[in-house]
Every structure is written in C-alpha cells, then in structure tokens.
Structure 1
C-alpha cells in the first residue's frame, strides 16, 4: 500500500515536471472523433462512459466470480502464505491484478481527458480516497479476501451521488473533503468491527 502511494506521488510529480503545471490541449486532441466520443458521446441515448463502465463491470464480474483467476485472487487476498502453499502462483496473480487495475485507471484517464478536452496535470487528485471509500462502502474488507464487484459498483454510485449532491448544494470543496474523510473513517471502522466479529 505504501509503495503504491509512493509511486503515485512520483508519477504525479513527474507529470508536473513534464508539463510545467500547464494543461495539454491541441487541435489533434479535439479532431479525433473516437477520442471525443469516449468521453462525450451517446449510444442509444446512453452516455458512452456509462456503457464502458457497464462493459467493464460485466467483464470483471465474470473474471472475479466465474474463473480460476478470481478464486486465486480471493485466496491471495485472504492469506498469501496459504495461497502459495496451496500452489497459487502468487507473484503472477499479483502482477495480473495490478495490470488490470492499471488498465482500468488508464481507461478512466482517457475518458476524463476526453470530457475535459484537455489533459490536466492535476486531474484525478484525491480520487484515490474516493476509490478507497467506494470499495469499503461496497463491503470489501481492507484486510483482503472479502468483497464483491457489485458492492464496489454500489459504493462508487454512493460516492458519486455524495459528490454531486454536495456540489449542487454549493458546499465548499474544503467541507467536502471533511465529509468524505468522515465517510471513509466510518466505513473503515465498520469494516474493522465486521472483521473482529467474523
């Protein structure tokens, strides 16, 4: 977890260095129909980002709940040592998990850049906390080995609704951070209590 935060900070800093803190825009970025469509297009009246999310949800649901890889992922999250003794190639599974996570982050980044029509060096700042809140609210245990894709989807919808609601109410971004921090803290405490009772 600490290594993940460290590399995130390194790459975020590198982004500021390469861009000098300025957004990247250009005619080529806005001239691509596919690029514009990914973030702002509609298919059968449904925003295309929603369709991408549903497709990703379906693929990951099958992968996690209907395949050997999914069972190995749960085993690895529950007890890495026991999974290794049971014959799971833990390093390979871990690498695949991080690869899939990186792919999802890349797709999200492309969609966000398309919606903004520019690449902002500070885009996505504090999204990691929203992600943690979403998965914990969705029932995923921070201790590992427990969680469902559907729960994470519900958690993401809750966080999205909370963010939009506070924006519509005109609540200051400073107070929004406090509220989301409290939500994360409550979710973590409930997760810990559930783990202790289990």
Structure 2
C-alpha cells in the first residue's frame, strides 16, 4: 500500500504541470464561451510565440544552472537594428536585415558567455551588465525614438500567415523542434544537463564545461534576437523599450515547465507547456476583465509555487 501511495504521489508530481494545464482549460472554457473558439486559440498561440521563442534559449541556460537577464534587452536591440536597415525606401535585402539582427544576438550572448565561462563572473551579474549595456545601445542607436515606416516584406514576418497559421507561430514551432532535437537527442544536450547537474564531475569526465556554457548563452542570444525580429514585425515598430520584463516571463515558463534553477534538468517541451499555461491564464484573465495589476500578482505566485515544487521534488 505504501509503495502504491508513493507511486501515485510520484506520478502526480511528475505530471502536475499537465494536469494543471488541462484543469485551467476546462475552467476557462466553462466561464468564458469564447475561450475555445478557433480565433481565440490562434490569438493565444500568436501571443505566446515571441516569449516562447525566448524560453527555448532560456531552457538551455537554466539547464546549466545559469540565468540570463539580458534576453529582453537583446530582443529590443535586434529589433531596432534589423528594422533600421529596411526603413523607408531602403534597398537593403531582407536577409541582410535579418542576419544583422541575429548577429546582435550572437554577439550579446557571446559577451555574457565569455565573462561567465572564462572569467567566472556570476551569471546574474554578467547578464545584468549585458542587459544594461545592450539597453543603453538601444537608446543611443535610436535616440530614444521608435523606428517605424519599414518595408512590407519585413512586416509580413509578424503579421503574415500560412493558411490559418500565423508565421510567428510557425517560427516558434521550428525553434521548439530544433531545441528538442539538440537538448534531447545530441551529445551537446547531454553535456548541457551534465554540466548543470554536477559541473566538477562533468569536467572530470572530459566535458569542456566552459565551452558548453558559452554555447548556451549564444543560443539564448540567438533565440532572443529572433523573438525581437518577430515582435518588431508584428507591432510594426522597432522599440528601444521592447522586451522590458520579458525575461521574467521566459524564466517563469522554463521553471513551470519543470527545469530546476540549480541546473541539471530542463525540457523544451515542458517550457512550451509552461508558456502555454502563462498564455492561457493571461488570455483567460483578460477575457474575464481581470486587472493587469492582479495578473502580475498571480504570475508572481505561480513562480513561487513552481520553485517550492522544485525544492519539494529534491527532498
């Protein structure tokens, strides 16, 4: 009997996130008749796609036991750099604009990764510095003004669709699939989890922990830049203030998805479900006309519950 009880508790703990997600959908579909309409479902997917893209990269970072506070600022800088190249009558090829935005992500991720992996600067401090410097560059580059009036071929990235599926959702899906592949089915993914689980043991076993960490921050930078490009195209403006506070939503999604803040565990699909929980909850509260102030309180409570749940699993 005791063994059976422990098994049931273990299964409930393992699938608590999915159970909570199903219950949330059921409750919202009952209290709001428009919640499960195709229009609203697509709207939810479109809304979560930007932060969801960031959450994929954040999963790699948190799996190593790190944290990245710079993702929102990287998003903003990638957005303003890429949109500035296709503004007005510019003849700059779209691909050059997109590559410039992605290069911003690579450089910012490499900047943080270098200080963390080579100079042993704490992740919180290194990425906080990157966040501040990058946000400052946003204001310097734009003089504090949004960039508007860029070409339609750029805008379609955020506003277009293939059939009924918005392009941002397709981009999100592709990045999720790539994230799942690299974290779950490659040697690099195994090294990421090994470094996060026990860095010293990983080094003894021959894993280059510094290189793994460095690469993870570059991945986070690339996904943040991609999210910035999508957001700028969707809102049709390159905002130097874009992405403020988005890092908290990305971290929340990853933690809700089952990743441990101490490292050693992480699941891209779990992070997606975590992002879906946040998106569904936010959408449902909007439909119920709940104040955004209360929504912040609820999000904070969810983070606390997720962290406490993680600690309980380790005991």
Residue aligning to 1:100: 219
TM-score in terms of structure 2 length: 0.58
Q: Computing the radius of gyration over CA atoms, which structure comes out larger, 1 or 2?
A: 2
User: Equivalences for 1:58-73 in 2 at 5 Å?
Assistant: 58-73=177-192
Q: SS of 1:111's equivalent?
A: helix
Residue 126 (structure 2) pairs with residue 7 (structure 1) = no
Q: Does 2:166 align with 1:166?
A: no
Which has the larger displacement, 118-127 or 17-26? Answer: 17-26
CA pair 122-167 structure 1, distance change in 2 beyond 3 A: farther
Q: Distance in 1 between matches of 2:285 and 2:136?
A: 29
- Tell me whether 48-57 or 159-168 shows the greater mean CA deviation: 159-168
Residue in 2 that maps onto 1:75: 194
Stretches of structure 2 lacking an aligned partner (at least 5 in a row):
1-122
CA distance in 2, matches of 1:162, 1:17: 36
Verify: 1:110 aligned to 2:229, yes or no: yes
What is the TM-score with the length of structure 1 in the denominator?
A: 0.90
Instruction: Specify the SS of the correspondent of 2:200.
Output: helix
Structure 1: gaps spanning 5 or more residues: none
Among 287, 296, 299, the residue aligned to 1:180 = 299
RMSD: 1.5
Shift of 1:151: 0.5
Q: Say whether 1:46 aligns with 2:165.
A: yes
Q: 1:57 deviation in Å?
A: 1.0
State the distance in 2 between where 1:186 and 1:5 align: 25
* Whole-angstrom distance in 2 between the partners of 1:177 and 1:17: 30
Greater RCO, 1 or 2 (C-alpha within 8 Å, sep 6+)? 2
Q: Which residue of 2 aligns with 1:18?
A: 141
- The alignment covers a number of residue pairs equal to 192
Q: Distance in 1 between matches of 2:155 and 2:148?
A: 13
Correspondence for 1:124: 243
